[in-house]
Amino acid sequence: MEQRQRAINPGLVVPRDLGAIIAFTAYVWLVRVCAPSLVGTYAFVNPVIAVFLGSAFAGEELSFRTTCGAAVIAAAVALVVFFSNRPAKPPLDRDEPELLSSSACTAKVLETRSGGIQ
């Protein structure tokens, strides 16, 4: 059986790949700056956002069960963010960067967006 190679359309691949590179770079930066418990919440929030975007733009069905699951995930992430507002423990080694609480992390992210930190 003959296999056909599919032509890759650079116009479709580049935006998707560029978005993935930007997202991964932002994630690595957050891992270095923020507490792991706070950064780890992205893994729970991303699927919820994807489900709602699929419903909004692709016409996918959004059931009551899915909405309840999204609410449980959002509540759990809110608990993690709320309880991670405690001051971070000092680093064990002086070479390790200090991890920030969620409020300090948010402030640093917003400051970086506005060009305050290089």
Place of tokens 């991890």: 99
Burial status of residue 51 (CB atoms within 10 A of its CB: 0-12, 13-18, 19 or more): middle
Q: How many residues does the chain have?
A: 118
Tens of pLDDT, residue by residue over 69-82, are 999 999 999 988 88
> For residue 39, what pLDDT is reported?
84
CB 97 within 8 A of CB 33: yes
Domain boundaries, the chain: 13-30+37-87
Tens of pLDDT, residue by residue over 22-80, are 888 888 888 888 878 788 888 898 889 889 989 998 889 999 999 999 999 999 999 88
What is the C-alpha separation between 103 and 98, in angstroms, rounded? 14
What is the C-alpha separation between 106 and 116, in angstroms, rounded? 13
